[in-house]
Amino acid sequence: MITSNRRLALLSAFVLTGCAAPQTSPRAPEARAEPSHAETVPSPTGDIHDFDFEVGNWTLANRRLKARGVGSQDWEEFLSYSRGTQYLGGMVSVDEMTLPSKGFSGLTVRVFNPTTRQWSIYWVNSKVGRLDPPQVGGFNGNRGEFYGEDEDNGRHVKVRYIWIKSGPDTAHWEQAFSYDGGRTWETNWMNELTRTSR
């Protein structure tokens, strides 16, 4: 029969040797998917009024690479025209762009999420008839950055839009693709926007 003192001594030894609780083996690392857009690219936030300036009529002077992702410096230049409108108190910003020399039109739909304070920008053109994956982000002052992922001729790309507001009647937009996960970027389309009465 174990006395009270002996029982206390055994219990103390049990605790001191680390046996008071079952030992667990180290956990195996959890399976982790490839880093998501949010983990690899900055996600700027913005304000519901970021695209207020876009309301109205614009003429766009476009420069677009003739071939993307091949190191080309051969650009084409053409004009396009757009008209911007807003819905839901500015939470939704829409513009329709016509490109007379290219034979198609496009529609941009921007939706503001008040919880994340970010815009999701969707593009659809009349040749394809589907919404492209969104670019997500916002403005810091007069500069906006928006990031997403898509495919370019079967190649996975990260996509970046940059907006620069340079006054009430002028703005700059550009699109760049990264074919190496965001380490380097190739700008492939730019336009200079000028407000018109058209």
% of the chain residues with pLDDT over 90: 75
Instruction: Flag whether 11 is in a domain.
Output: no
CA 114 to chain centre: 16
How many percent of the chain have pLDDT more than 70?
A: 78
Within a domain: residue 61? yes
pLDDT in tens, 19-76: 333 333 333 333 333 333 434 455 789 999 999 999 999 999 999 999 999 999 999 9
Q: Is residue 85 part of a domain?
A: yes
Instruction: Name the band, by pLDDT with cuts 50, 70 and 90, for residue 101.
Output: very high
CATH number of the domain residue 87 falls in: 2.40.128.20
In a domain, 6, yes or no: no
The predicted structure's pLDDT at residue 28: 34
Does any domain span residue 117? yes
- The total number of structural domains in the chain stands at 1
Look at residue 135 in the predicted model and tell me its pLDDT: 97
Residue 140 lies in a domain: yes
Instruction: Let me know if residue 171 belongs to a domain.
Output: yes
50 domain residue, yes or no:
yes
* Long-range residue pairs from 91-100, CB within 8 A, at least 24 positions apart, any chain: 91/48, 93/51, 93/54, 93/55, 95/54, 95/58, 97/60, 99/62
**Domain extent for 53:** 40-196
